[in-house]
Amino acid sequence: MASTSTFRPNPNPCTNGVVSSPRRQFGSFAFESSTSLFGSKFLAGKSFSLSTRINRPEAVISASSRAFDVVIVGAGIIGLTIARQFLIGSDLSVAVVDKAVPCSGATGAGQGYIWKVHKTPGSDKWELAMRSHELWEMLADSIHDQGLNPLEVLGWKKTGSLLIGRTPGDSDLLKRKVQQLSEAGLQAEYLSGHDLLQEEPALMVGEDSSAAFLPDDCQLDAQRTVAFIENANRHFASKGRYAEFYHDPVTCLLRSGSHEEVEAVLTSKNTLYSKKAVIVAAGCWSGSLMHELLRESEILLDVPVKPRKGHLLVLENFNALQLNHGLMEAGYVNHQTISASGPFDHGQALSVSMTATMDAMGNLVLGSSRQFSGFSSEVDEPIITHIWKRAGEFFPSLKELPLSDFIKSRKVRVGLRPYMPDGRPVIGPVPGLSNVFLATGHEGEGLSLALGTAEMVADMVLGNPGKVDNAPFAVPGRC
Residues interacting with ligand FAD, by CB under 6 A?
A: 73-79, 97-100, 104-107, 109-114, 249-250, 281-283, 285, 289, 310, 312, 367-368, 415, 417-418, 440, 442-448
Least Å from the CB of residue 299 to ligand FAD? 18
**Which is nearer to ligand FAD, 29 or 76 (by Cβ)?**
76
Is residue 427 within 8 A of residue 438, CB to CB? The reply is yes
What is the distance between the alpha carbons of residues 407 and 118, in angstroms, rounded to a whole number?
Answer: 32
**Which is nearer to ligand FAD, 106 or 237 (by Cβ)?**
106
Least Å from the CB of residue 48 to ligand FAD? 21
**Which is nearer to ligand FAD, 331 or 367 (by Cβ)?**
367
Per the DSSP assignment, residues forming a β-bridge with 81 are none
Least Å from the CB of residue 453 to ligand FAD? 9
Least Å from the CB of residue 142 to ligand FAD? 20
Least Å from the CB of residue 324 to ligand FAD? 18
**Which is nearer to ligand FAD, 95 or 403 (by Cβ)?**
95
Long-range contacts of 35-40 (CB under 8 A, 24+ apart): 35/3, 35/5, 36/3, 36/5, 36/66, 37/1, 37/2, 37/3, 37/61, 37/63, 37/240, 38/93, 38/240, 38/241, 38/243, 39/240
Among candidates 231, 242, 291, 293, which has minimal Cα distance to 267? 293
**Which is nearer to ligand FAD, 18 or 109 (by Cβ)?**
109
Residue 354 phi, psi (nearest 5): -75, 125
Is residue 67 within 8 A of residue 42, CB to CB? The reply is yes
Least Å from the CB of residue 224 to ligand FAD? 14
**Which is nearer to ligand FAD, 171 or 448 (by Cβ)?**
448
Least Å from the CB of residue 114 to ligand FAD? 6
**Which is nearer to ligand FAD, 104 or 210 (by Cβ)?**
104
Least Å from the CB of residue 445 to ligand FAD? 4
Among candidates 417, 418, 416, 425, which has minimal Cα distance to 478? 425
Sign of CA dihedral 332, 338, 340, 341: positive
**Which is nearer to ligand FAD, 236 or 285 (by Cβ)?**
285
What is the distance between the alpha carbons of residues 311 and 327, in angstroms, rounded to a whole number?
Answer: 17
What is the distance between the alpha carbons of residues 356 and 363, in angstroms, rounded to a whole number?
Answer: 10
**Which is nearer to ligand FAD, 210 or 225 (by Cβ)?**
225
Residue 436 phi, psi (nearest 5): -110, 130
27 burial type by CB count under 10 A (0-12 exposed, 13-18 middle, 19+ buried): exposed
Sign of CA dihedral 264, 460, 468, 223: negative
Using DSSP bridges, classify how beta strands 210-214 and 189-192 pair: parallel, antiparallel or unpaired.
antiparallel
Least Å from the CB of residue 318 to ligand FAD? 18
Is residue 117 within 8 A of residue 217, CB to CB? The reply is yes
Is residue 468 within 8 A of residue 456, CB to CB? The reply is yes
